[in-house]
Structure 1
Amino acid sequence: MTNDAATEAPQGEEFGFQADVAQLLELMTHSVYSEREVFLRELISNAADACEKLRYESLSNERLAAQAGAPLITITLDKEKRQLTIADNGVGMSRDELIAALGAIANSGTRAFLEKLGKEGAGESSSLIGRFGVGFYSVFMVADLVEVATRRAGEDEAWLWSSQGKGAYSIAPLAGADAPPVGARVTLHLNAESEEFLEPWRIENIVREHSGAVSTPIDLIDEPGKEPRRIADGVALWTKPKSEITQEQYADFYRQLSGGFDEPALIAHWRAEGRTEYTVLAFVPGARPFDLFEPSRKSKSKLYVRRVLISRDVELLPAWLRFVRLVVDSADIPLNVSREMAQKSPVLASIGKAVATRLLQELGKLAENEPEKFAQVWENFGAVIKEGLHEDPSRRDGIFAIARFASTKSDGKTRTLKDYVADLRENQTAIYYITGDDAKRLAASPQLEGLRARGVEVLLLDDAVDAFWVTSALGFEGKPFKSVTQGQADIDLIPKVEAEAEEAAPAENVGDLVTALKETLAESIEDVRVSTRLTESAACLIASDKGLDRQLARLLAESGQTALLGKPVLEINAKHPAVTALATSLREKGREGAADGMYLLLDLARAADGEAPVDPAAFARRLGALIARGV
């Protein structure tokens, strides 16, 4: 289609938004947001990305290289028409790209945003913009009509996209004289409540706060006919010396990079020289991203080559550092490298390894110098960092140095493995732990009783990954990790903190009881033995000496590997009144007469382990009969 044809017959087409998008626009229009200025940050980010994309594409396309001028974003204010315009000389969009970019959201961001908004309410919704990929749609918080005039670099046709944000949009050909030479021009017809965004000082403040560190210059035209003036220099922040960058500028850039509104907990900025030269600017977020544990989530690292954006989501860091927001700029990667080739580049792999090592060192420094700030980092991301203990053995020692754990001695806080080893009891040869999904419930587990009586500290590991790394890590400072729910306790040589005033006598015929329990409960348990770990409870369940840790077996069973769950071992406390009474019942009534008590003993052990009785109905009947006897 030629420009003349477009002038003669500007036929427009009407399109309906996807259902999710239409619902989002309704919320944008009618909900009250405390920080509506977020729309400008989103538009500037889109414009800067378009400029970067044109620079990238022009490297291998001479025609585009001829069109690509110095990247520039221009904001124009027109109070008389109540219009705010943001123009860029970036790559622009074709008709199909307009439909794909502005008529739909390619991922589940909208649905997640709507669900989150429903839970948190409009009062918190401003902090959610930018975290769910809603980007461009924030313009409808301030505008009654939005028009996007655009011409794709390298193409003759130009297009006008327009919408009132009420469920539909239109796309029409645009005459050449009315279209930008290249790039896009977004015109917002502001609503009556948004006239503040026509004030030059207001726009300058927003740009300084949210977009001052973008790598594209930004000019402001206060009113039509006036000369533009530069309000952001477009110098990439990471290229500046650290001494010239303020904490506010770092924080502004972080928010632009992450799309969030929190303050970074850690900022790491360095230049590496040697065989490979590169500059790194990394941020550890101050708040946990909503999708941190999504299986598809990967590290979000931006890769630049001499300030040319090669990829905005290169997989540079290991998965256990996926929460870090990162920019890497290197001159040692070929400029014509494709995004796919970048993923396989040996130079990039080398950079990734070095960056991961340095970030681990920076986290170690934070833990040493600012323990309170690091404690918050660990609370947000400790469960992810611990994945490295299982997946990244080469850095295991470094992760152990910063890892923090709840324990039976931590009193609601966390302790390091060095703290643990420093408090080892006499004759203690292992680091004891228990895994599960709730630290408070773990602390009350019967398997801890014998260790508690001996003053032995036990790590309370309540993250899912804990069940895996403890099986692959050999130990710490020569002390192996040992589960308190697996195998023999082997704690007899560790002296008790206080000798018992008067120990109860064990059941007289405990051997007969063990045999009867094995025979009666054979379908549910692998073995029965007298426990050395119980001091207060009547019974507990543990894994066999060669079996998997109970929590690990449960996790594997949930993923379909039920054969690995196996049968537990039942340990009984021969000095407990319930066990003594059961042994007496066995002697007087025989195995059948004592069967109900044996099943109750097993179900009590299962309940203490967080499991349901083997047969809930039978358990209720037996317990009811016990109550009826006045016990």
Structure 2
Amino acid sequence: MSETEMSVEKHVFEADVARLLHLMVHSVYSDKNVFLRELISNAADACEKLRYEAIVSPELLAGDTTPGIRLTLDEENNRLVVEDNGIGMSRDELVEALGTIARSGTRAFMERIEAAQGKEGAQLIGQFGVGFYSAFMVADNVDVVSRRAGSDHAWVWSSDGKGSYTVAAADLADAPARGTRITLHLMEDAKTYTSRWTVERIVKDQSGHVPVPISIVEKPGAEPVAVGDGTALWTKQKSEISKEDYADFYRGVSGQYDDPALTVHFRAEGRHEYTALAFVPGSKPFDLFDQDRKGRMKLYVKRVFITDEAELLPRYLRFVRGLVDTSDLPLNVSREMIQESPLLSSIRKGLTNRVLTAIEKLAESDRETFDTIWENFGSVLKEGIYEDFERRAQLIALSRFRTTTSEDGHRSLADYVKDMKEGQSAIYYLTGDNLAQLKASPQLEGFRARGIEVLLLTDPVDSFWVTSAPDFEGKPMKSITQGSADLGSIAKPEGSTDSTPETSQAVTDFVAFAKETLGEAVSEVRTSDRLTESAVCLVAPEHGPDRQLEKMLQGAGRLDGAAKPILEINPGHALIAAIAACPADDSAFRTDAVQLLLDQARVLDGDKPQDPRAFAERLSRVFNRALKV
């Protein structure tokens, strides 16, 4: 019996397809829009298959050598039509491809042509044969009319996706000359897929770079409008792409309107092959510090968008925009959930290294552009020092800092170490909330007097990475608000008139009195070699977090109680000398003075008096005493 003589046949889906279809519609895909991506992917496969078969049998093209995918919108009848002029399917192929789950034939076809064409088969997209069924997420009935290239017969496959399907001969007058036409009878809540704006946006977002041109027909009988030309920028040679081309593509893939500050475009070859096109934005994205913000690198497989949630870069490079396209990444059944694989790990490692290396080279070749990148994203890049042990040394060397000598610019740690003072053994830093406050910090005074450069760190992550970076070129990191300053071994600049005064016995006695008076409020009271202008300051004990990190941990509920600070007193300050000279029997005044000095140190440290009412009362008593003198 010939194919045309066969009547309409009704079949039951194999592999318990009704249950599997329910899973596809309700569980496998989280975004209904992917149905269009899947149908376009299948159409692109069909066109690619025809191209390869036509190498041996050119008559299959029948004079139509231009592949294409056409989307026809029919709002009046609530239908969406996806049509291609690819290889098409015979009756048996329709039953095999659409009647049995996970047997689309693509894998078998790939094995067959790879044997003859080498890696040519890598251009084929589909691997699972289940993407077609995602159409039932938006359609309550699907008709597929297909005519295989070179055949005089066409066939129509129909199903409501509820357990069975029919196959019958199609009228050639109503069938494509070659290829497949899929008509989706849309559900009531899926009418938006007859909107040109909606469909065009989905195509450009998810399938704009498949290797087959795509056009949209806004309504039956209208002229087709091209929405995808079948080319992908990242597949071209860099020499063929202009700066303007890169900028236009960046704006499309990033959703921003600026120009990229840095473009990284490369093809990795060898054991794992993939192409990457990444951009460092020219301005700071508004959601850069959003805790829930994910990366903005898109993953493509054979030029078909898969997801933008794959971890292609570490979190500290989350500002980078772009894509990676590979042909052999293992995917699970939905294409949305990506399996961990050696290839994915290789892509992540290779892409991260390339981006960081490109930024390093920029620091040497274009300081102005590098400074812009650092100003925008330095605070995020420094997260990598804390998180990425493998690249910690590279990231520390790449980092730039404001310092007490940098004025409005930035300095690297290599610059810092090169200019270290004789006798200096550590890299000193000060952390805080803002630059102006840090520059006014009393803890800086002794270092400034000796011309010692201090890093001024104002980003929240700074308090964490400095504890993870034990040294740079053998020089340890040391907070100037923690432990002793140890400035005695570092000489003051030549010609300096400042000298360290000897501590009088009266001041020594007053320091002892302050320790006794403050008791458990502090861990120690001592004279300071870091103060030259202020009377007092607070520092943290030698071990444990420094003052700023301690505040942050307390604020985040990560620290039950703060360590008792050390109160340092400047023995050469006129106020300290005057208080120390007061009669020892005036204990009430001396006690008030000690408590006020502690509160003053707290205020200088960015805090407030521990007991505001007691502070006001002490201040009032001191004023009254001064007025009586």
d(CA) in 2 for partners of 1:524 and 1:58? 76
SS at match of 2:358: helix
What does residue range 601-616 of structure 1 map to in structure 2 within 5 Å? 601-616=597-612
List runs of 5+ in structure 1 lacking aligned partners: 1-45, 77-84, 91-149, 159-176, 191-202
Q: Which amino acid aligns with 2:37?
A: E
Write the deviation string for residues 227-248 of structure 1: whole angstroms up to 9, x where unpaired. 4364741312211211222222
Question: Aligned in 2, Cα 1:463/1:300: closer, same or farther, shift over 3 Å?
Answer: same
d(CA) in 1 for partners of 2:454 and 2:469? 17
Q: Which amino acid aligns with 2:430?
A: I
What does residue range 351-430 of structure 1 map to in structure 2 within 5 Å? 351-430=347-426
Write the deviation string for residues 352-386 of structure 1: whole angstroms up to 9, x where unpaired. 11211111101111221111111111111111100
Question: Aligned in 2, Cα 1:386/1:454: closer, same or farther, shift over 3 Å?
Answer: same
SS at match of 2:582: helix
1:53–1:309 contact (8 Å) kept in structure 2: no
- Find the partner of 1:283 among 279, 290, 295: 279
Aligned to 1:36: none
SS at match of 2:549: helix
List runs of 5+ in structure 2 lacking aligned partners: 1-30, 50-65, 74-78, 85-133, 143-173, 175-180
Q: Which amino acid aligns with 1:319?
A: R
Aligned to 1:5: none
Report the Cα offset of residue 444 of structure 1: 1.1
d(CA) in 1 for partners of 2:565 and 2:465? 22
Aligned to 1:519: 516
Aligned to 1:531: 528
Aligned to 2:473: 477
SS at match of 2:357: helix
d(CA) in 2 for partners of 1:345 and 1:362? 26
1:59–1:336 contact (8 Å) kept in structure 2: no
Report the Cα offset of residue 51 of structure 1: 3.8
2:35–2:137 contact (8 Å) kept in structure 1: no
Question: Aligned in 2, Cα 1:508/1:153: closer, same or farther, shift over 3 Å?
Answer: closer
d(CA) in 2 for partners of 1:420 and 1:87? 66
Please, which moves more after superposition, 579-588 or 353-362?
579-588
d(CA) in 2 for partners of 1:402 and 1:503? 38
- Find the partner of 2:451 among 455, 459, 465: 455
Question: Aligned in 2, Cα 1:483/1:335: closer, same or farther, shift over 3 Å?
Answer: closer
Please, which moves more after superposition, 475-484 or 347-356?
347-356
Report the Cα offset of residue 337 of structure 1: 6.1
Q: Which amino acid aligns with 1:568?
A: P
Compare CA radii of gyration and give the structure with the larger one.
Answer: 2
Q: Which amino acid aligns with 2:455?
A: L
d(CA) in 1 for partners of 2:540 and 2:299? 48
What does residue range 119-134 of structure 1 map to in structure 2 within 5 Å? none
Write the deviation string for residues 266-301 of structure 1: whole angstroms up to 9, x where unpaired. 111100011111111111112222221122222232
Question: Aligned in 2, Cα 1:502/1:250: closer, same or farther, shift over 3 Å?
Answer: closer
d(CA) in 2 for partners of 1:517 and 1:472? 36
Aligned to 2:544: 547
Q: Which amino acid aligns with 2:366?
A: E
Write the deviation string for residues 486-531 of structure 1: whole angstroms up to 9, x where unpaired. 0010111111124326765634322222221112112321111110
Question: Aligned in 2, Cα 1:54/1:287: closer, same or farther, shift over 3 Å?
Answer: farther
Question: Aligned in 2, Cα 1:245/1:326: closer, same or farther, shift over 3 Å?
Answer: same
d(CA) in 2 for partners of 1:474 and 1:345? 33
- Find the partner of 2:586 among 585, 589, 605: 589
SS at match of 1:344: coil
d(CA) in 1 for partners of 2:469 and 2:436? 25
What does residue range 305-384 of structure 1 map to in structure 2 within 5 Å? 305-334=301-330, 338-339=334-335, 342-384=338-380
Question: Aligned in 2, Cα 1:47/1:155: closer, same or farther, shift over 3 Å?
Answer: closer
- Find the partner of 1:619 among 612, 615, 629: 615
d(CA) in 2 for partners of 1:604 and 1:327? 54
Aligned to 1:7: none
Report the Cα offset of residue 624 of structure 1: 3.0
Question: Aligned in 2, Cα 1:339/1:392: closer, same or farther, shift over 3 Å?
Answer: farther
Question: Aligned in 2, Cα 1:377/1:586: closer, same or farther, shift over 3 Å?
Answer: farther
Aligned to 2:463: 467
Confirm or deny that 1:563 pairs with 2:548.
no
What does residue range 129-208 of structure 1 map to in structure 2 within 5 Å? 152=136, 155-157=139-141, 181-182=183-184
Question: Aligned in 2, Cα 1:501/1:260: closer, same or farther, shift over 3 Å?
Answer: closer
TM-score (norm 2): 0.69
TM-score (norm 1): 0.68
Aligned to 1:165: none
What does residue range 22-101 of structure 1 map to in structure 2 within 5 Å? 51-55=36-40, 72=69
2:579–2:593 contact (8 Å) kept in structure 1: yes
1:213–1:252 contact (8 Å) kept in structure 2: no
d(CA) in 2 for partners of 1:47 and 1:368? 47
1:280–1:327 contact (8 Å) kept in structure 2: yes
Aligned to 1:441: 437
Aligned to 1:242: 238
Write the deviation string for residues 524-553 of structure 1: whole angstroms up to 9, x where unpaired. 211111101111100100001113111111
- Find the partner of 1:267 among 246, 251, 263: 263
Report the Cα offset of residue 218 of structure 1: 4.8
d(CA) in 2 for partners of 1:550 and 1:375? 30
